[in-house]
Amino acid sequence: MQRMTRSQKILVVDDEQSNLKLIVRLLAHHGYNNVIPLDDSRQVSQIFQQERPDLILLDLNMPHLNGFQVLDQLKALNESVLPPVVMLTAQHGRDFILESLSRGARDYISKPFDPSELIMRVQNLLEVHLAHKLLVNQKKTLEEMVANRTRELRETRLQVVQRLGRAAEYRDEETGNHILRMSHTSAFLAEKLGWSADQCELLLHASPMHDIGKIGIPDYILLKPGRLIPDEWEIMKTHAEIGAKLLDGDDSDLMVMAREIAWTHHEKWDGSGYPRALKADQIPVAGRIVAISDVFDALTSERPYKKAWDIERALDYIQESKGLHFDPDLVELFLANIGQILAIRQRFAEP
């Protein structure tokens, strides 16, 4: 520890050159060679920010700025770790000592001082400061490690989520581009609704799992090119509940929203949807947003069992479904921003 403290930087501030030389010589004699003498108290703040000393020996009575004012300047920098300051002064009064300590000084030595006492106090304060810096650096390192690990876990989770969403769509003979168009449109609408950036990003990553439950639907129904008979349609509708069950059991914000969307994006504003016939505000907003985004993209995309609708026809359907299938306010928002929605559609167009 002593070897490490010998290399630490010490700033000595005193307007008397003779005092500066005496202190610098004394410190050097005991192995402290990294010493910065300064006779102008106005430069302390600047020198501190440039040199980052580990200890400051500060005179009290100086022209321009006295020791108290220098302490105030250092405190105003709002540094996370300030070096200890030792007041080294000819003032002996109790009031001077208390004032110095109250303004942030860590020690107070009166002139004329005992050289051995000064060196011991310098050594002790440098050791404490070094230990403090090591602790702060260790804490910072640990925080960075936790942040990196958290980011890795989050990115891994997002990768799993996106691949699960695509797996469901590929089974339904849809492409990953539908997922991209639908999820980005959903996040865009959420932003227009006033959602925070974090919530919009959450929706962007949760919405691709809206049809994850299709994994549990038999191929003869899921891939049937024609219209489903009533019994088949009832089985098809179970994909919403299957998806909710698949995504259940994880309390992360991402999975909670993904489950909510999977369970509710086929509900309709008038209560005629499935699986629970929820109505109006009973349907979570995320489910309502994904519903309109999903339907619009499905209508305007070609499938093995249908041709793509043109944009005008799809928008007419959205308008006609206002208050029936879709949230009326969302319909108005969707139509008012159709230019940007079509730009999203173009950005993620099929190859």
319 and 213 in a common domain: yes
Give the end of a domain, one of 143, 159, 188: 143
Which pLDDT belongs to residue 89?
82
Distance CA 265, CA 296 (A): 13
Stretch (H or E) spanning 51 = helix 44-51
Distance CA 207, CA 218 (A): 23
- In which band, very low, low, confident or very high, does the pLDDT at 196 lie, cut at 50, 70 and 90? very high
Q: Cα angle at 237 between 235 and 242, to 5 degrees?
A: 90
Sorted by sequence, the CB contacts under 8 Å of residue 28 that are 6+ apart come out as 35
292 and 224 in a common domain: yes
Mean pLDDT of 316-320: 97
Q: Which residue range is the domain that position 126 belongs to? A: 2-143
Mean pLDDT of 269-294: 97
288 and 220 in a common domain: yes
Which pLDDT belongs to residue 143?
74
Stretch (H or E) spanning 37 = strand 35-38
176 and 139 in a common domain: no
DSSP type of residue 306: B
- In which band, very low, low, confident or very high, does the pLDDT at 343 lie, cut at 50, 70 and 90? very high
| Angle between the N-to-C axes of helices 285-299 and 328-336, in degrees from 0 to 180, rounded to the nearest 10 | 50
21 and 115 in a common domain: yes
- In which band, very low, low, confident or very high, does the pLDDT at 344 lie, cut at 50, 70 and 90? very high
Which pLDDT belongs to residue 176?
59
Mean pLDDT of 13-18: 91
pLDDT at 290 over 70: yes
Distance CA 154, CA 302 (A): 34
Please tell me the total count of domains within the chain.
2
Neighbours of 182 (CB within 10 A): 30
Q: How far is CA 165 from CA 66, 70, 137, 240, 288, in A?
A: 68, 61, 42, 13, 18
DSSP type of residue 221: H
Distance CA 203, CA 26 (A): 66
Terminal Cα-to-Cα distance of the chain (whole angstroms):
65
195 and 130 in a common domain: no
Neighbours of 268 (CB within 10 A): 21
Stretch (H or E) spanning 87 = strand 85-89
Establish if 166 belongs to a structural domain.
no
Establish if 70 belongs to a structural domain.
yes
Which pLDDT belongs to residue 151?
76
Establish if 157 belongs to a structural domain.
no
What CATH number is associated with residue 233?
A: 1.10.3210.10
pLDDT at 311 over 70: yes
- In which band, very low, low, confident or very high, does the pLDDT at 301 lie, cut at 50, 70 and 90? confident
Which pLDDT belongs to residue 6?
74
pLDDT digits (tens, 9 = 90+) for 127-170: 888 887 777 777 777 777 787 787 777 777 677 766 776 666 66
- Report the percent of the chain where pLDDT is more than 70: 93
Per the structure block, which two tokens stand in for 120?
Answer: 């011991």
- In which band, very low, low, confident or very high, does the pLDDT at 106 lie, cut at 50, 70 and 90? confident
Range ranked top by mean pLDDT from 24-28, 121-125, 325-329: 325-329
Establish if 165 belongs to a structural domain.
no
Q: How far is CA 186 from CA 17, 71, 130, 265, 341, in A?
A: 71, 55, 52, 12, 10
Per the structure block, which two tokens stand in for 232?
Answer: 């088949």
- Which of these, 206, 211, 267, lies nearest to 236 by C-alpha position? 211
Establish if 29 belongs to a structural domain.
yes
Distance CA 74, CA 130 (A): 19
Location of structure tokens 């089974």: 171
Q: How many residues does the chain have?
A: 351
126 and 73 in a common domain: yes
Distance CA 9, CA 86 (A): 14
pLDDT digits (tens, 9 = 90+) for 180-190: 899 999 999 99
Q: How far out from the chain centre does Cα 345 lie?
A: 29
Which pLDDT belongs to residue 94?
86
Please classify residue 48 by burial: count the beta carbons closer than 10 Å to its beta carbon, then call 0-12 exposed, 13-18 middle and 19+ buried: buried
176 and 136 in a common domain: no
Sorted by sequence, the CB contacts under 8 Å of residue 203 that are 6+ apart come out as 183, 186, 187, 190, 195, 257, 286, 289, 290
- Which of these, 271, 171, 286, 161, lies nearest to 221 by C-alpha position? 171
